[in-house]
Amino acid sequence: MQDETVRPGTEPDAETLALARRVFQAARAGEGEVLAELLRRGLPPNLRNEKGDSLLMLAAYHGQLEAVRALLDGGADPDLANDRGQMPLAAAAFKGVVPVVTLLLDRGAAVDGRGEGGRTALMVGAMFNRTEIVELLLARGADSFLEDGAGHTALSAAEQMGAQDTPEQLREAMDWRARQAAQRATR
């Protein structure tokens, strides 16, 4: 998908800057109808701010289901990472917003998607003890053995962060998967 980042060095006029602030605020505030109308009028669905955060990233991070839906309907890329390698799915996992995570997955977000060196949504959900998110991502096929740029898996990241429940949840899921693989191997 096309990247419509506003780049430094270009000097938009005051009216354009005010519109850009309003559009990004609409994503944060969950103004799905406003975003849908702007997208119909030609707003680029993958518009990004100076940090590389897309409208979808901001809506997902703030748990704004209707804004996420409007942006996806308008063609936003569910796997567009920001400048820090963070993905919309991981942002929603961080906040623990199950309906947003579900919608992103239903609309094509890669369950193990991440930018360069970034963490997967499973890693983020596990780190912040989001048991429902971890359960959902595992059910959708998330790989608990993947490592981030620092070599951490979802389990080691959760343990390092002192998460209360997700380390055991991940261990149980990993044990179950190992038993399933062993059973398949003996058939």
Give alpha helix (H) positions in the chain.
14-29, 32-40, 55-61, 65-73, 88-95, 98-106, 121-127, 131-139, 154-161, 166-186
Chain segment 52-62, per-residue pLDDT in tens: 999 999 999 99
pLDDT of residue 14: 87
Average pLDDT value for residue range 88-92: 97
Query: Hey, what domains does the chain have and what are their CATH numbers?
Result: 1-110 (1.25.40.20), 115-187 (1.25.40.20)
pTM greater than the 0.85 cutoff: yes
pLDDT of residue 5: 52
Average pLDDT value for residue range 75-88: 95
Inform me whether the pLDDT recorded for 116 exceeds 60. Answer: yes
Round the average pLDDT of the chain to a whole number and report it. 92
Average pLDDT value for residue range 121-147: 96
Average pLDDT value for residue range 13-27: 90
From first CA to last CA, the distance across the chain in angstroms is 44
